[in-house]
Amino acid sequence: MDRVALRGLKARGHHGVFPKEREEGQTFIVDLVLGLDTRSAAADDDLAKTVHYGIVAQEVAAVVEGEPANLIETLAERIAQTCLKHEGVQEVEVCVHKPDAPITVPFDDVTVTITRSRV
């Protein structure tokens, strides 16, 4: 399976279990790896035969900016399901970064990574 990756997609959302997170929001960063067969698209040099990563990026940003969730696990699942709606996408790996998580000790990042497929 071929891979199309989007790394470092940033959007502001209001996800989290604490009231301050819901009220003020924060930036979330999303990395995606989409699994699909790109041979036909490459052979014909045809965007319609692959996944349009610009559209995927817009849709993922809309999910992050949309309905709040308590958990970034829930957010990752919503993103995965959005990506799998694209006909050619057979699987997706989603990594949601929450670099401003409300943790009281020094840290660089918090992530949740999931993999989902059609089968």
pLDDT band at 17 (very low <50, low <70, confident <90, very high): very high
Active site residue 98: yes
Report the alpha-carbon distance of residue 2 to residue 66 in Å, rounded: 30
pLDDT, position 119 = 74
Q: Domain spans of the chain?
A: 2-117
Four-residue CA torsion sign, 57, 59, 62, 68 = negative
Rounded Cα distance between 60 and 78, Å, is: 9
Q: Does domain 2-117 have CATH number 3.40.50.880?
A: no
Q: What's the CA gap between 72 and 78, in Å, rounded?
A: 10
Would you tell me how many other CB atoms lie within 10 Å of the CB of residue 33? 17
Cα 101 to Cα 13, 19, 84, 107, distances in angstroms? 12, 13, 27, 9
Per DSSP, helices labelled H in the chain are 19-24, 39-44, 53-65, 72-84
**For residue range 51-70, what is the model confidence (pLDDT) as tens digits?**
999 999 999 999 999 999 99
CA 77 – CA 83 distance, rounded (Å): 10
Catalytic residue (choose from 10, 20, 49, 98): 98
Q: What percent of the chain has pLDDT over 70?
A: 100
